[in-house]
């Protein structure tokens, strides 16, 4: 974003506060249906159907975990195969160097290890975390988002956003409070 554009959008978005998960999900659904695309919702716990309500469908986590698991399993087996047959072959009781049944356990553990770490790191990376600063934290009431309040934001970067109209639109939901989020 250039300095010029930044000047045009001194506001990050408009944020409405609700008392219940039900109010939030209804407001989010109607906002999406009204044509707003760049919206987000904040809640103190995961709400079923919330992602769909804000129009979020892409979830890359399963693919990351699958790739992590495959890479982990292949790494584990290849490591053992290479060590047992090439790098450090040891004759144990006349068993073949490539004694694959013995290699299953470490292959399994490596699969789980890589897949599990991919789940955690992939989830954090896709979520853009860790992120110490975010504009929504500038709203003092936002501290309640980790307790018992529910917030809906329409970002100023949305094509349909205009300061007065969007404010009027959100007021239609009778939110508990309505705050402008400075960027």
Footprint of other proteins on this chain (CB under 8 A)? 20-22, 25, 28, 40-51, 53-54, 56, 59-62, 65, 69, 79-80, 83-84, 87-88, 90, 92, 95, 99, 102-103, 105-106, 108-110, 112-113, 115-117, 119-120, 122-124, 126-127, 129-134, 136-137, 142-148
- Choose between 83 and 168: whose C-beta lies nearer to other proteins: 83
Q: What's the rounded Cα separation, in Å, for the pair 58 and 71?
A: 23
Cβ 164 to other proteins shortest distance, Å: 26
What is the token pair recorded at 120? 């955690």
* Minimum distance of other proteins from residue 59's CB (angstroms): 6
Nearer to other proteins, 92 or 168 (CB): 92
CB of residue 65 to other proteins, shortest distance in Å: 5
Residue pair 72/112 in contact by the 8 Å Cβ criterion: yes
Which of the 8 DSSP states describes residue 146? G
CB-nearer residue toward other proteins: 80 or 166: 80
The secondary structure of 72-124, three-state, reads: HHHHHHHHHHHHHHHHCCCCCCCCCCCCHHHHHHHHHHHHHHHHHHHHHHHHH
Strand extents, DSSP E, the chain: 11-18, 39-42, 150-155, 177-182
Minimum distance of other proteins from residue 132's CB (angstroms): 5
Min dist CB 28 to other proteins, Å, is 8
CB closer to other proteins out of 123 and 178: 123
Rounded to the nearest 10°, the torsion over CA 120, 122, 125, 127 is: -80
């Amino acid at each position: 974003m250039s300095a010029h554009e930044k000047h045009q959008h001194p506001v990050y978005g408009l944020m409405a506060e609700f008392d219940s998960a039900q109010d939030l999900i209804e407001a989010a659904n109607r906002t999406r249906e009204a044509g707003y695309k760049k919206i987000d919702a904040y809640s103190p716990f995961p709400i079923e159907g919330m992602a769909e309500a804000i129009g979020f469908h892409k979830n890359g986590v399963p693919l990351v975990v699958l790739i992590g698991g495959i890479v982990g399993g292949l790494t584990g087996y290849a490591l053992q195969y290479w060590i047992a047959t090439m790098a450090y072959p040891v004759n144990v009781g006349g068993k073949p160097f490539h004694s694959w049944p013995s290699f299953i356990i470490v292959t399994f553990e490596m699969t789980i290890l890589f897949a599990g770490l991919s789940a955690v790191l992939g989830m954090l990376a896709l979520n853009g975390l860790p992120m110490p600063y975010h504009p929504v934290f500038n709203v003092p009431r936002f501290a309640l988002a980790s307790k018992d309040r529910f917030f809906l934001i329409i970002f100023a970067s949305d094509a349909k956003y205009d300061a007065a109209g969007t404010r009027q639109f959100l007021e239609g939901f009778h939110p508990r409070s309505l705050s402008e989020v400075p960027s």
